């Protein structure tokens, strides 16, 4: 969802996914606990270091995604919801000191050309409010710029659009006169939510799904490099929209194994909510769009029935992947009526390049929503009251060993991870891992693989293209569920590695345990609760793994915001809301949630 969203706080209460990070080098597997933690913390890198540490919300990033170029493994690209270009909080807006600036995009993009060891965030031009500094007193119109510096995707304002986050990233072959070949070059796809620019009307509805593209990312700032905005093609709006459509939670994938008969196809899945004006009863249906021309045109298919009620929930939190044979798989979490309305991980398959899709089949479950319903936001939280929502914690994150870039030697082994408690409404969730060696027909009994004392939050797996090595990353809280906002909630990122032998993954080893941070230092722009986004992400090659995650090690708690949140829970509505630049201590880094990465590349 939109970085907790321009519209999201006022629309349907939905589940939300998160995937987190992966690999580290075996050389960092040290015996001592504190020494190991120190080594892991040093090895992680702040992807969003170009972002300021203050003020809120210009210091806020969340919901990262990542992709490795299967044809050139040194090229890695990440995305996040990045508020670097938003206006800072100001007491001149007492009802809502930290609003999203209408028209300002939040889809951040970051490049690495050394397999994820260092990162750069290009600066483009577009509509920006980053000059509206902490507690500014002038009208927004005086400090916002039409052609100022932006750290987000270019060409949205110029096309009557706003980039609204929920990033998804994928690499595939570029098209050419004779079809798709790696020799044509490598194409980057970046999917995200988009809304109409305040003066635009490019599509109907609230939020749509758009895709930006770049061929052959090259370091530099000159013409034809990542620093040149003309390297990006204009965004393409993919989703079919009505006046009441809110398209949400997309993921993109390109068929990147040359052995596939549908090599080069691009697949995009998302949940399409309808009837937003009707409140929380909005029906939704899982959608998949397919492109066979490099993302210029798309054909949309509805995978599930449109329903969102007490009897049936449609699949949400989708993941989409392809194997070396050209089969495409889309997964999501949804309820199964024949199983008493319990939630399962569901799978639908296409054998013809996305033209037709099988009926959704429950493959793993039942799974249970972890966390306790939080009255401050009407959503489940794992860390405590007014905490970070965990809507899509039990949603499936999947990867397939498809042998990319050639497809040779592919095992097509499938791996899945998710966070689930033993029953709904339980604050003791587990990080679960399961796998399939027969194209998803059957799955192993889930293993609980978290370190003792970790309460899982979000997770994701990645498997090497040759199927030999699995990485599972997860976010976890190391403190108990908090019934007040006065006590810390420690968040940590953990990376585990397993070895696949005879179709079974075992010999799990902890590769990286990041520095912890207090999740209370993160925040929704409304300040009613913490905010850590809806997913993190991981990717793997045959020689290394790389991942990105939400991180609060550099965020400071603010007592004024803690008190505000607790008062809301007690039915007290403080007026005015806290204004972080003046209500928090001087030079406070409140809200400074970052995106960190780790690469185990040699």
Q: What is the pLDDT of residue 569?
A: 92
Q: CB 212: neighbour CB atoms within 10 A?
A: 25
Whole-angstrom distance, CA of residue 207 vs CA of residue 195: 5
Torsion of CA 138, 139, 145, 151, to 10 degrees: 80
Average pLDDT over the chain reads: 90
Residue linked to tokens 């209460």: 13
Domain ranges of the chain: 8-295+314-599
> 8-295+314-599: which CATH architecture?
6 Propeller (2.120)
- Split at pLDDT 50, 70, 90, the class of 576 is confident
Residues 588-596, mean pLDDT to the nearest whole number = 96
- Split at pLDDT 50, 70, 90, the class of 294 is very high
Q: CB 32: neighbour CB atoms within 10 A?
A: 9
Q: What is the pLDDT of residue 14?
A: 32
C-alpha distances out from residue 457 to 367, 369, 400, 474, 485, Å = 14, 11, 23, 7, 19
Q: What is the pLDDT of residue 383?
A: 97
CA-based max dimension of the chain? 66
Whole-angstrom distance, CA of residue 412 vs CA of residue 174: 23
Whole-angstrom distance, CA of residue 243 vs CA of residue 235: 21
**% of residues, the chain, pLDDT over 90:** 78
Secondary structure of 53-90 in the HEC alphabet? CCCCCCCCEEEEEEEECCCCCCCEEEEEEECCCCCCCC
C-alpha distances out from residue 92 to 89, 134, 551, Å = 9, 11, 30
Whole-angstrom distance, CA of residue 426 vs CA of residue 552: 24
C-alpha distances out from residue 392 to 103, 387, 396, 527, 536, Å = 28, 15, 9, 21, 12
Length of the chain: 602
Whole-angstrom distance, CA of residue 171 vs CA of residue 55: 34
Q: Of 313-317, 376-380, 496-500, which has the strongest mean pLDDT?
A: 496-500
Q: What is the pLDDT of residue 248?
A: 87
Cis before 366? omega within 30: yes
Q: What is the pLDDT of residue 279?
A: 45
CB 403 within 8 A of CB 465: yes
The 10s digit of each residue's pLDDT in 250-289 is: 999 999 999 999 999 999 999 888 765 444 546 678 999 9
**Ordered DSSP codes for 330-359:** EEEEEEEGGGTTEEEEEEEEESSTTSS-PP
- Split at pLDDT 50, 70, 90, the class of 63 is very high
Question: Beta strand pairing status for 246-254 and 490-501?
Answer: unpaired
The 10s digit of each residue's pLDDT in 347-402 is: 999 999 999 999 999 999 999 999 999 988 899 999 999 999 999 999 999 999 99
Residues 103-107, mean pLDDT to the nearest whole number = 98
**Tokens representing residue 240 in the block:** 């079919």
Q: What is the pLDDT of residue 520?
A: 98
Does residue 228 carry a pLDDT above 80? yes
Cis before 57? omega within 30: yes
CB 447 within 8 A of CB 431: no
Residues 80-107, mean pLDDT to the nearest whole number = 96
CB 200 within 8 A of CB 161: yes
**Tokens representing residue 560 in the block:** 């004024």
The 10s digit of each residue's pLDDT in 527-553 is: 999 999 889 899 999 999 998 899 999
Q: CB 62: neighbour CB atoms within 10 A?
A: 28
Whole-angstrom distance, CA of residue 511 vs CA of residue 507: 12
Whole-angstrom distance, CA of residue 3 vs CA of residue 233: 24
Does residue 29 carry a pLDDT above 60? no
- Split at pLDDT 50, 70, 90, the class of 40 is very low
* 318: phi then psi, degrees, rounded to nearest 5: -75, 155
- Split at pLDDT 50, 70, 90, the class of 76 is very high
| Class of residue 63 by CB neighbours under 10 A (exposed 0-12, middle 13-18, buried 19+) | buried
- Split at pLDDT 50, 70, 90, the class of 18 is very low
Q: Name the 3-class secondary structure at 236.
A: strand
C-alpha distances out from residue 1 to 49, 130, 546, Å = 23, 22, 24
């Amino acid at each position: 969802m939109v970085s907790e969203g321009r519209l999201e706080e006022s629309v349907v209460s939905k589940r939300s996914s998160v995937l987190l990070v992966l690999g580290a080098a075996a050389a960092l597997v040290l015996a001592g606990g504190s020494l190991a933690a120190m080594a892991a913390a040093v090895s992680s890198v702040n992807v969003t270091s170009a972002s300021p540490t203050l003020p809120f919300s210009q210091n806020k990033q969340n919901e990262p995604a990542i992709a490795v170029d299967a044809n050139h493994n040194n090229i890695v690209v990440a995305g996040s919801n990045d508020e670097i270009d938003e206006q800072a909080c100001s007491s001149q807006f007492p009802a809502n000191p930290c609003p999203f600036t209408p028209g300002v995009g939040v889809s951040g993009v970051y490049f690495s050309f050394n397999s994820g060891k260092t990162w750069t965030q290009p600066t483009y031009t577009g509509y920006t409010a980053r000059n509206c500094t902490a507690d500014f007193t002038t009208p927004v119109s005086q400090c916002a710029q039409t052609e100022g510096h932006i750290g987000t995707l270019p060409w949205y304002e110029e096309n009557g659009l706003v980039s609204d986050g929920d990033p998804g990233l994928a690499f595939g072959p570029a098209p050419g006169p004779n079809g798709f070949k790696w020799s044509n070059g490598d194409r980057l796809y970046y999917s995200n939510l988009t809304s109409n620019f305040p003066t635009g009307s490019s599509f109907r509805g609230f939020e749509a799904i758009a895709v930006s593209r770049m061929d052959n990312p090259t370091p530099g700032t000159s013409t034809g490099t990542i620093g040149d905005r003309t390297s990006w093609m204009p965004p393409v709006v993919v989703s079919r929209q009505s006046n009441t459509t809110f398209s949400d939670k997309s993921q993109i994938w390109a068929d990147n194994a040359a052995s596939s008969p549908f090599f080069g196809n691009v697949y995009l899945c998302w949940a399409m909510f309808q009837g937003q004006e009707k409140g929380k009863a909005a029906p939704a249906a899982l959608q998949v769009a397919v492109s066979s021309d490099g993302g210029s045109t798309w054909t949309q298919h509805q995978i599930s029935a449109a329903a969102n009620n007490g009897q049936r929930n449609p699949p949400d939190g989708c993941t989409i992947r392809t194997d070396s044979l050209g089969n495409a798989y889309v997964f999501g979490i949804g309820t199964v009526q024949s199983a008493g309305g319990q939630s399962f991980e569901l799978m639908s398959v296409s054998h013809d390049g996305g033209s037709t899709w099988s009926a959704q089949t429950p493959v793993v479950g039942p799974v249970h929503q972890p966390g306790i319903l939080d009255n401050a936001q009407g959503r489940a939280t794992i860390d405590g009251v007014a905490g970070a929502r965990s809507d899509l914690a039990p949603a499936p994150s999947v990867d397939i060993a498809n042998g990319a870039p050639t497809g040779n030697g592919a095992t097509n082994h499938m791996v899945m991870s998710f966070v689930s408690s033993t029953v709904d409404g339980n604050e003791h969730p587990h990080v679960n891992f399961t796998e399939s060696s027969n194209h998803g027909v059957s799955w192993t009994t889930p293993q609980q693989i978290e370190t003792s004392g970790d309460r899982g939050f979000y997770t994701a797996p990645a498997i090497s293209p040759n199927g030999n090595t699995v990485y599972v990353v997860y976010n976890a809280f190391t403190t108990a569920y908090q019934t007040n906002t006065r006590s810390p909630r420690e968040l940590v990122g953990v990376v585990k590695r397993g070895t696949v032998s005879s179709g079974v993954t075992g010999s799990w080893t902890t590769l990286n345990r990041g520095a912890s941070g207090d999740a209370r230092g993160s925040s929704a722009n409304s300040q009613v609760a913490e905010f850590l986004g809806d997913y993190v992400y991981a990717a793997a090659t045959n020689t290394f793994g790389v991942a990105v995650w939400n991180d609060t090690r550099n965020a400071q708690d603010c007592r004024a915001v803690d008190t505000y949140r607790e008062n809301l829970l007690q039915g007290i509505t403080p007026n005015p809301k806290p204004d972080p630049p003046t209500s928090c201590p001087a030079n406070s880094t409140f809200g400074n949630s970052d995106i960190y990465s780790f690469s185990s590349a040699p």
